[in-house]
Structure 1
Amino acid sequence: MPLWGDDDRRAQGDVISVVLLLAITIAGATAVVALGGDAIGGIQQSATTGAAEQSMTQLDSKASLVAHGGSDTQRVRLVGSSGATRRVEADAGWMNISVYNASTGDFEYEITNTTLGAVVYRDGDTSVAYQGGGIWRRSGNGSAMVSPPEFHYRGTTLTLPLVSVGGDERLDGEVVVRRSSDPTAVYPDEDSDRANPLDEGVVVITVGSEYYDAWGRFFEQRTSGEVSIHHGNRTARTELVVPFETEFDNVVASTSAGGISANPGPPPEPYRDGVVQPSADDVIESHIEECQTDPDACVDETESDFDTGDMDGGETYFFDGDYGGDLSIDTSDGNVSVVVDGDFDAGDVDVTGGNSTTWYVREDFSVSGDVNPDGPASQLRVLVHSDGDVSFNGNYLFVGFVYAPGSDVDLNGGGGPGTNFEGGLVGDTIDVNGQPNDFEYDPSVGTIDLDVSASNAPRITYLHVSVTEIEVDED
């Protein structure tokens, strides 16, 4: 083999190496340029979006001054990307405030249904908006709050100075903010009977908006209550419960119109049908959840050797399932709670001491013995979930108060000497069967302070709502 052939192959290898090195260098440089360009573009996008947020925050401050009487007009410069659009979207978003029946969930009346409008900065799939007195940002499929809206919830008072935005469809550079009308008081309303304090119901606040999910998270943070976010119609909703003032002045009362029947009649006196009483479902479920999740909150009688003599003041006793039998409850050292996540069939029950005992029953509640025979009725309160029914059978004696506004109640039996039922009872429907089956109203139940709202349900007693219209126009 000639020696020159080896030299030729080595020369070809050197050329290939150089070519490969150049190719790798070019590819690397191209990648660096491409990735660097994307990074620079991302930084620029973030910077311009941040500038737009800052100018929108300034707009928020200026609009607040105008809407709430601090100034007649204000000017602000809207900045951001040169390729972005800035405009007033007068029909963007709305807020509805309505009151619902706490017992049935039925709609009662509407306080306001206000179109919020918005001043919107849009750059590609990113938008920043002033709406409802807050600043919101949407990018892709999610939104976030930049600054909070005009929604002030403290204690049991909600103040909502709503701002509705109109003006030039397209904005550029410096804009002028003007108030186009004086604030209109929506609640309380001097021309109607809608006044503070609220006496009953559930106040439901619903927002429809491009930024609905951020509104929902704001409601969760601010009210610490139940909030529902609906992606299908892009709404967020929160509920505020009016603390219910209990007035129990009947031995039997039904929440259904014509819900009381007696065989033989007439119904026991005093009675009333068609009363409005909120459900106890939330507070019952809240107590069950607390007992199941917090081992220190309740004495779990399911897992211990049960002794009725151990039920004393200051404790909550939990039955994780059905319970039937006798009880002995001593309230000398404080109130006693009994939580039953199932059916509760009460036999003979003695209640002593100067405090009260409250029973929370998830399913059916029945009585077949003598319950709290020495009274008074106000020291025994029984709350029954709407999923359960109530029945009293045989030659029973019950002294107490039963609150079951969503339940069917059967009072059967009687026949013994004296009164069978002493106190008060609220049910959805009430059937009284048997003779004599005697009833006696105990006025002490009229003084019961019964809170049937869940412990985490946000309360509302005072509501202040006004609407102010402002215009945002080019200077």
Structure 2
Amino acid sequence: MDFPQKERGVRIRGQSSILAVVLLIGMVATISVGIFLVGAEMMANAEHQSEQEKIEQSFVKLSRQMSSAAINDDVTHSMTFESGQSGAITKTNAGSIEIQSSDFSKTIQLGAIEYRGDDGSIVAYQAGGVWRERGNKTRMLSAPPINYDAAKETLWLSVSDISEEQELSSGEVTMVHQETVPLQDFVQNEKVTMTITSDYYRGWESYFRHQAGDAVVRNVDHSNRTVTVELGYLEADSAFDSGVTYSDDYTVDKNADVDGPTSQGNLPPLDTVISDMINDTETGEMTVDEDLGTVDTTLTKGDGTYVADSIEEAGHLRFNLTEGNATLIVDGDINAGGSTITVTDWDGTHSLKVYTTGDLDASNSGDICVDPCDTDVSAELIQVFGTSEMQVDFGPGGNSRFEGVLYAASNEDDWPERNGCESQVCIHSNPDVYGSIVASSVKIHAASAELSYDSSLDTADIPLHPESYTLPPRITYLNIAHHKIDVANG
């Protein structure tokens, strides 16, 4: 049957409306399912995150309670512990801390309380610290009670440990102190080596780097899950055993001409020594042969002790060491230009020591070397000592030469940018450095730079200061306590 044109249009429009409603309902249903699924996943993630945070907070609280139990051995401590659905376990053999100095050795066995999540994450208490580990990343949630105080010359180590193995579920947990093994020892001007063996060794590594700087971490052995740290200073006698000894960072342009060994470690800064020397020259406690003031002309000197306010680019000091040693104390900067400090004559047994409170800038053909300054004679002849705040620039501009040893021990890690270099010692383009450098950080910034180690320094005896002065101490006291604590649901 044929419908009139108008009626057919009405029917078609009616069918379109019904189809639109069906499509709309389908879209709403699809979106609703999607929202439901996404919402369910978000809720599950939120619940998991909430549970993880509760467990982490519970472990941090546990570490504090363990510390309290270690101190108050006549009180039972309790808390509400959250270990999730999986529960936690206590371990009595989960690692060790080996502590050594030249005449002392002690190994402390470490226990742990550990929670393992379904996603592979681990939250663990060990030796007073709390760690969160997932894959190859470990994050410290609470620091272990290890404190190295350089000013007091003391290393404190208080280990709160687990007395037995068992499972811990959520609920009330009690902690009862069982015993403490104390150990106090006296070590004279020592460095102390600690080797931590633990599943959470990455966390221990991060902790020590944060607390005491990169230089204290001497070795990380991933296969044996150990980290070895050294606290205190290196032996001063080893200061010039390498071409570069740095505590923070050493960077070399891949095309630079570098020859000689390097090493990383802390050496004592000379701030106090240099300050005391300056003070003694002013009070008359140290005999001074001549006050040179601001050196801005050419002067020739022999053996003896000299003081100066600064050395400017126009200043040139020439030393004849055939009769004895010379000491130059500069209470200011050394701005090297041309042959600024040179040894013109020597007999092989004497040396020139330069102590300065300021910076060394040899950026424009500034030479500190043994005449004629074009042959590697002996880096032992010229010895330059600076404070922990000393900044050194060799180059850019010209062909500056440094022949000697440079000692500016420092633990600073933040230096101002100078010609694209942000290190304590910057070796820019064209300089020639022969000898040895001790600093916080050294950057060989250009391919045209040269750095060569004088191997005779390995056996040289170079005192860092006059005998009447003393270096800051390393570690004098070890204060160690190993606490055993019963932890149980209860």
TM-score of the pair, normalised by structure 2:
0.56
1:241 paired with 2:238, answer: no
CA shift, 1:17, in A, is 2.1
1:358 paired with 2:384, answer: yes
Sort the Cα spacing of 1:446 and 1:209 in 2 relative to 1 into closer, same or farther, 3 A: same
CA shift, 1:92, in A, is 2.2
> Who is 2:278 aligned against?
none
Q: Distance in 1 between matches of 2:187 and 2:108?
A: 23
CA shift, 1:278, in A, is 2.6
What are the within-5 Å matches in structure 2 for residues 277-296 of structure 1? 277-280=237-240, 285-286=245-246
> Who is 1:115 aligned against?
109
Could you report, residue by residue, the CA deviation over 1:239-262 in whole angstroms, capped at 9, with x for unpaired residues? 212475x7xxxxxxxxxxxxxxxx
1:447 paired with 2:463, answer: no
Query: SS state of the match for residue 145, structure 1?
Result: strand
> Who is 2:196 aligned against?
207
Q: Distance in 1 between matches of 2:341 and 2:247?
A: 20
Query: SS state of the match for residue 426, structure 1?
Result: coil
CA shift, 1:332, in A, is 11
Q: Distance in 1 between matches of 2:402 and 2:453?
A: 4
> Who is 1:347 aligned against?
371
1:147 paired with 2:142, answer: yes
1:167 paired with 2:167, answer: no
8 Å contact kept, 1:210–1:234: yes
8 Å contact kept, 2:133–2:139: yes
CA shift, 1:131, in A, is 1.1
1:176 paired with 2:178, answer: no
> Who is 2:290 aligned against?
none
Q: Structure 2: where are the runs of 5+ without partners?
A: 253-311, 319-327, 346-350, 374-381, 387-391, 395-400, 406-433, 439-451
> Who is 2:316 aligned against?
308
8 Å contact kept, 1:180–1:469: yes
Q: Distance in 2 between matches of 1:222 and 1:198?
A: 23
8 Å contact kept, 2:73–2:177: no
In structure 2, which of residues 39, 50, 65 is the aligned counterpart of residue 62 of structure 1?
65
Could you report, residue by residue, the CA deviation over 1:302-347 in whole angstroms, capped at 9, with x for unpaired residues? xx96742499713455889x99955799999966886999x97512
Could you report, residue by residue, the CA deviation over 1:111-154 in whole angstroms, capped at 9, with x for unpaired residues? 23322111123332333222111222234542222222111222
What are the within-5 Å matches in structure 2 for residues 18-37 of structure 1? 18-37=21-40
Query: SS state of the match for residue 93, structure 2?
Result: coil
Sort the Cα spacing of 1:280 and 1:65 in 2 relative to 1 into closer, same or farther, 3 A: same
Q: Distance in 2 between matches of 1:110 and 1:171?
A: 37
Q: Distance in 1 between matches of 2:340 and 2:224?
A: 44
> Who is 1:89 aligned against?
91
8 Å contact kept, 2:332–2:358: yes
8 Å contact kept, 1:87–1:119: yes
Q: Distance in 1 between matches of 2:159 and 2:16?
A: 78
8 Å contact kept, 1:117–1:164: yes
Sort the Cα spacing of 1:286 and 1:136 in 2 relative to 1 into closer, same or farther, 3 A: closer
Could you report, residue by residue, the CA deviation over 1:69-123 in whole angstroms, capped at 9, with x for unpaired residues? 4435323332243x22211022223322233xxxxxxxx5762332211112333
Query: SS state of the match for residue 475, structure 2?
Result: coil
Could you report, residue by residue, the CA deviation over 1:46-74 in whole angstroms, capped at 9, with x for unpaired residues? 22223223332332222223323443532
8 Å contact kept, 2:404–2:435: no
> Who is 1:256 aligned against?
none
> Who is 1:46 aligned against?
49
> Who is 2:409 aligned against?
none
8 Å contact kept, 1:114–1:164: no
Query: SS state of the match for residue 64, structure 1?
Result: helix
Q: Distance in 2 between matches of 1:219 and 1:225?
A: 8
Sort the Cα spacing of 1:87 and 1:178 in 2 relative to 1 into closer, same or farther, 3 A: same
Q: Distance in 1 between matches of 2:188 and 2:195?
A: 19
CA shift, 1:464, in A, is 1.6
CA shift, 1:203, in A, is 1.9
1:389 paired with 2:454, answer: yes
> Who is 1:418 aligned against?
none
8 Å contact kept, 1:206–1:236: yes
Q: Which has the higher strand share?
A: 2
How many residues are treated as equivalent by the alignment? 343
> Who is 2:155 aligned against?
158
Q: Distance in 2 between matches of 1:90 and 1:183?
A: 16
Q: Distance in 2 between matches of 1:236 and 1:184?
A: 24
Sort the Cα spacing of 1:58 and 1:337 in 2 relative to 1 into closer, same or farther, 3 A: closer
8 Å contact kept, 2:317–2:340: no
Query: Given residue 204 of structure 1, which amino acid in structure 2 is its aligned partner?
Result: T
Q: Distance in 2 between matches of 1:447 and 1:315?
A: 24
CA shift, 1:22, in A, is 1.8
Sort the Cα spacing of 1:445 and 1:170 in 2 relative to 1 into closer, same or farther, 3 A: closer
Q: Distance in 1 between matches of 2:362 and 2:92?
A: 53
Sort the Cα spacing of 1:317 and 1:212 in 2 relative to 1 into closer, same or farther, 3 A: farther
Sort the Cα spacing of 1:240 and 1:6 in 2 relative to 1 into closer, same or farther, 3 A: same
Query: Given residue 180 of structure 2, which amino acid in structure 1 is its aligned partner?
Result: D
CA shift, 1:169, in A, is 2.0
Sort the Cα spacing of 1:61 and 1:359 in 2 relative to 1 into closer, same or farther, 3 A: closer
Q: Distance in 2 between matches of 1:288 and 1:110?
A: 28
Identity of aligned residues (%): 22
Could you report, residue by residue, the CA deviation over 1:417-456 in whole angstroms, capped at 9, with x for unpaired residues? xxxxxxxx428xxxxxxxxxxxxxxx997616586x9xxx
